[in-house]
């Protein structure tokens, strides 16, 4: 209250009904308690400041003056604050997860933006954040996103539950990819040890499938890197 509304000032009402500020020699016990609260509020703010911040507020006379000076220093004027919100909202709207990024790395970057927006007064509901995350996941996550939307109630789902669910899926997918890589290496080694004429029909069929799958993935990655052809997931 003292920080937002200003210091408590001992006052008295004169006989004609007007209110005047008391002089120090007119203070009573209650007045001294009020003044003590003012001092405590200032000390509380002083104790949480570093040297640079202390320099900014050294001339402030009340806790409210200190608080107002710190708000301008950290948030800027209303015009600066609005500009920061607009810049961060653009980052929020254009945010997307890259194919090589982990779920936790993505979530850390995302929360950095949303937390800064919250500090500037822009808030989001949990459902809004969850729907946003599901929209900007890469196309390779489409099956998982669909499964979550069909099975989970997004109005009651928590962010921790969503991120945990996505991380579990990520671990399983990485494990499957590692198994496929081992099989591919095994097949490649087998082919290197044999002459092509010695390969049976099953080996040739598997080799053909692997080559088609590899070619498809390479073509998709090349298409994503071409300017103007990336998917706008928002």
Q: What is the pLDDT along the chain (234 residues), one digit of tens a residue?
A: 667 777 777 887 776 778 888 888 888 888 888 888 888 888 878 777 777 777 777 778 888 888 888 777 766 667 777 888 999 999 999 999 988 899 999 999 999 999 999 988 899 999 999 999 999 999 989 999 999 999 999 999 999 999 999 999 999 988 877 777 666 666 565 555 555 555 556 655 666 666 666 556 555 555 554 544 444 444
Examine residue 137 and state whether it is found in any structural domain, yes or no.
yes
Does the predicted TM-score (pTM) go above 0.75? no
Examine residue 182 and state whether it is found in any structural domain, yes or no.
yes
Q: Which helix (H) or strand (E) holds 119?
A: helix 103-119
- Spatial separation of the C-alpha atoms in residues 175 and 60, rounded to whole Å: 60
Residue 76 is encoded by which pair of tokens?
A: 């800027």
On whether the CB atoms of residues 231 and 98 are closer than 8 A, the answer is: no
Q: Tell whether 69 and 102 lie within a shared domain.
A: no
- Residue 108's domain comprises 80-194
Q: Tell whether 184 and 85 lie within a shared domain.
A: yes
Q: Tell whether 51 and 70 lie within a shared domain.
A: yes
Q: Tell whether 65 and 87 lie within a shared domain.
A: no
Classify residue 34 by burial, with Cβ atoms within 10 Å: 0-12, 13-18, 19+. middle
Q: Tell whether 85 and 190 lie within a shared domain.
A: yes
Residue 105 is encoded by which pair of tokens?
A: 């790395």
Q: Tell whether 67 and 86 lie within a shared domain.
A: no
Final residue before a domain boundary, out of 48, 74, 100: 74
Total structural domains within the chain: 2
Examine residue 221 and state whether it is found in any structural domain, yes or no.
no
């Amino acid at each position: 209250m003292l920080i937002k509304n200003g210091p408590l000032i001992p006052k008295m009402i004169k006989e004609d009904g007007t209110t005047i500020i008391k002089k120090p020699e007119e203070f009573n016990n209650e007045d001294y308690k009020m003044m003590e609260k003012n001092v405590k509020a200032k000390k509380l703010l002083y104790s949480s400041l570093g040297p640079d911040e202390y320099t900014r507020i050294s001339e402030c006379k009340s806790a409210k003056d200190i608080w107002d000076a710190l708000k301008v220093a950290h948030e800027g004027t209303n015009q600066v604050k609005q500009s920061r919100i607009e810049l961060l909202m653009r980052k929020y709207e254009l945010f997307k997860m890259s194919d090589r990024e982990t779920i936790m790395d993505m979530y850390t970057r995302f929360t950095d933006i949303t937390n800064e927006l919250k500090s500037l007064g822009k808030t989001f509901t949990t459902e809004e954040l969850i729907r946003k995350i599901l929209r900007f996941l890469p196309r390779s996550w489409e099956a998982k996103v669909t499964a979550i939307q069909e099975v989970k109630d997004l109005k009651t789902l928590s962010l921790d539950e969503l991120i945990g669910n996505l991380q579990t899926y990520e671990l399983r997918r990485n494990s499957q990819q590692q198994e496929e890589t081992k099989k591919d290496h095994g097949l490649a080694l087998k082919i290197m040890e044999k002459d092509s004429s010695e390969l049976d029909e099953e080996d040739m069929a598997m080799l053909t499938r692997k080559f088609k799958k590899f070619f498809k993935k390479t073509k998709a990655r090349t298409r994503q890197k071409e300017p103007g052809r990336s998917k706008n997931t928002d």
